[in-house]
């Protein structure tokens, strides 16, 4: 029995364990720095998950750049 084109195409796009592990490492390398930056500014680290969402990551960086940081507010006593 010869494989047809649909079967062969489906095999090309399956993810094995190592593919999944590589993807998980890449995602962690993207999220962890964003998570730590948000935490250091006094916000919830969960904002770092926006690093995975196209365009939302850029908006999050702009918000981070221009928003008051609770960590600085607490330090300055404002």
Distances, alpha carbon 6 to alpha carbons 9, 14, 17, 58, 65, in Å: 5, 13, 23, 38, 48
The answer, as to whether pTM is greater than 0.75, is no
Enumerate the domain spans of the chain.
23-76
pLDDT at 34 exceeding the cut of 80 = yes
Q: Taking residues 36-51, what's their average pLDDT?
A: 90
What's the pLDDT at 43?
87
pLDDT at residue number 69: 83
pLDDT for residue 67 is more than 90? no
């Amino acid at each position: 029995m010869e494989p047809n084109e649909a079967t062969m195409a489906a095999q090309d796009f399956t993810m094995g364990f190592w593919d999944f592990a590589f993807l998980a490492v890449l995602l962690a390398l993207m999220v962890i720095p964003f998570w730590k930056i948000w935490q250091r500014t006094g916000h919830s680290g969960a904002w770092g998950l926006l690093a995975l969402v196209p365009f939302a990551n850029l908006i999050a960086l702009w918000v981070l750049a221009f928003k008051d940081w609770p960590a600085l507010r607490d330090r300055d006593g404002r």
